[in-house]
């Protein structure tokens, strides 16, 4: 049987067998590249409608807002009020913005990227494989596509995921090649996340600590993606179109770039800038703000060049033990602005997001009243 280099639709194709063989290697996508593949496995191939426009005609020349946080610690100052307004406007209209002078030294950012690279490119593959797991309860795990065994096409990337707060993992459970920088980066990015949530709270007209008190930053998950060069980037995606099932995301990306955000029905390149961090609103922040803030779709096309490295910090609350229901914040509601969403447990939202897959359609619609 000849193998079509388009989205597989024939009934003879045994996806489950091919996926299991890939997963059993515990080597991820990098293992395929190291083995010299020139044709990507069929479970990575996407239908044409899920792939970027080859002509690139739908990529806008607009630029994601860049916000200077210098002076943010000057409480009640004119400068802080200006920053609050900039963050509010970007969160309402874009759902994405970048921040400079955020307080994290560039040496820490560079070492975080280098630490992820060291993990994925270490000479002793057996050491890396010790972290390979699909156990959702494991605090530290290496995997390729968390939803690999579902029916949707896989993304061309590998991932090291570490749950760093509120209960950090024991040091010996983290990879030695990036252990120290994971703790250092987490300490600093959590501080920044809390600052941003304060700014967003004030921008919504709430008390400064409102979102913090709602435990929107209680959980910090550091998810580091490694995107190897792809021999057939026109057939797959590095990260498919999706929005984040969290409250807030802070992203560090290397110089390769590739991240794109959807704005006014056009894809916008979020070009990497040295020392700059990307911030985006998550689904749950759009839900509790009653659509005041926007969680927008974003993606990473596959690339013939690589690797690309990114480090996402997802802020949320505990989904396994929390009994707190999240719905539109009552202080934001009025007769003219009634609630648009029903209340939900974060674990239910996250579970629905995982089972749905990243088809590009927002899950928020399913929680509308």
**How far apart, in whole angstroms, are the C-alpha atoms of residue 8 and residue 311?**
32
**How far apart, in whole angstroms, are the C-alpha atoms of residue 206 and residue 16?**
50
4 occurs within a structural domain: no
Q: Residue 323: which CATH number?
A: 2.60.120.330
1 occurs within a structural domain: no
112 versus 345: which is more confidently predicted?
112
The whole-number pLDDT of residue 206 equals 98
**What are the tokens at 134?**
């699909």
pLDDT at 331 over 50: yes
The whole-number pLDDT of residue 361 equals 64
Give CA separation, 352 vs 44, 190, 214, in Å.
Answer: 22, 26, 22
Contacts of 293 (CB under 8 A, 6+ apart): 91, 92, 95, 200, 204, 281, 285, 286
Confidence class of residue 1 from pLDDT cuts 50, 70 and 90? Answer: very low
Sign of CA dihedral 97, 100, 105, 111: positive
Could you tell me the pTM of the whole model? 0.94
**How far apart, in whole angstroms, are the C-alpha atoms of residue 43 and residue 4?**
12
pLDDT at 56 over 90: no
The whole-number pLDDT of residue 151 equals 79
pLDDT tens string 134-155: 988 899 999 999 889 987 899 9
Number of structural domains the chain divides into: 1
Domain that holds residue 251: 15-44+64-367
User: What does the DSSP assignment read for 14-66?
Assistant: -HHHHHHHHHHH--HHHHHHHTT-SS--GGG---GGGSPPTT-TTEE-----E
Average the pLDDT over each of 43-57, 204-218, 278-292 and give the range with the smallest value. 43-57
217 occurs within a structural domain: yes
**How far apart, in whole angstroms, are the C-alpha atoms of residue 236 and residue 48?**
9
Residues in the chain: 369
208 occurs within a structural domain: yes
The whole-number pLDDT of residue 9 equals 62
271 occurs within a structural domain: yes
58 occurs within a structural domain: no
The whole-number pLDDT of residue 159 equals 98
**What are the tokens at 179?**
């252990």
């Amino acid at each position: 049987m000849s193998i079509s280099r388009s989205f597989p639709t024939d009934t003879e194709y045994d996806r489950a067998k091919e996926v299991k063989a890939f997963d059993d290697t515990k080597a991820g996508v990098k293992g395929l590249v190291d083995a010299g593949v020139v044709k990507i496995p069929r479970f990575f191939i996407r239908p044409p409608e899920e792939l970027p426009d080859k002509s690139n005609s739908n990529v806008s020349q607009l630029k994601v807002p860049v916000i200077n946080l210098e002076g943010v610690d000057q409480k009640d100052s004119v400068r802080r009020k200006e920053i609050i307004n900039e963050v509010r406007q970007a969160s309402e209209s874009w759902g994405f913005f970048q921040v400079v002078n955020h307080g994290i030294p560039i040496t820490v950012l560079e070492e975080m990227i280098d630490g992820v690279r060291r993990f994925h490119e270490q000479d002793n593959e057996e050491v890396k494989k010790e972290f390979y797991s699909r156990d959702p309860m494991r605090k530290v795990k290496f995997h390729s596509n968390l939803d690999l065994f579902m029916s949707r096409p896989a993304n061309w990337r590998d991932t090291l995921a570490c749950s760093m707060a509120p209960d950090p993992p024991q040091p010996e459970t983290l990879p030695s090649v990036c252990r120290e920088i994971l703790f250092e980066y987490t300490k600093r990015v959590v501080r920044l996340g809390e600052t941003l949530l304060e700014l967003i709270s004030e921008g919504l007209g709430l008390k400064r600590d409102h979102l913090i008190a709602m435990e929107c930053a209680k959980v910090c998950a550091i998810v580091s993606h490694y995107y190897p060069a792809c021999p057939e980037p026109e057939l797959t995606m590095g990260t498919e179109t999706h929005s984040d099932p969290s409250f807030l995301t802070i992203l560090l990306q290397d110089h390769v770039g590739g991240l794109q955000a959807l704005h006014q029905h056009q894809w916008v390149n979020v070009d990497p800038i040295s020392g700059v961090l990307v911030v985006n609103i998550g689904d749950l922040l759009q839900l509790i703000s009653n659509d005041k803030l926007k969680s927008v779709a974003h993606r990473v096309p596959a690339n013939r060049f690589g690797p690309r490295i990114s480090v996402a910090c997802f802020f949320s609350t505990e989904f396994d033990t929390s009994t707190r229901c999240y719905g539109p914040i009552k202080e934001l509601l009025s007769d003219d602005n009634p609630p648009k969403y029903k209340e939900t447990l974060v674990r239910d939202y996250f579970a629905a997001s995982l089972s749905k897959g990243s088809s590009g359609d927002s899950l928020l619609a399913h929680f509308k009243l």
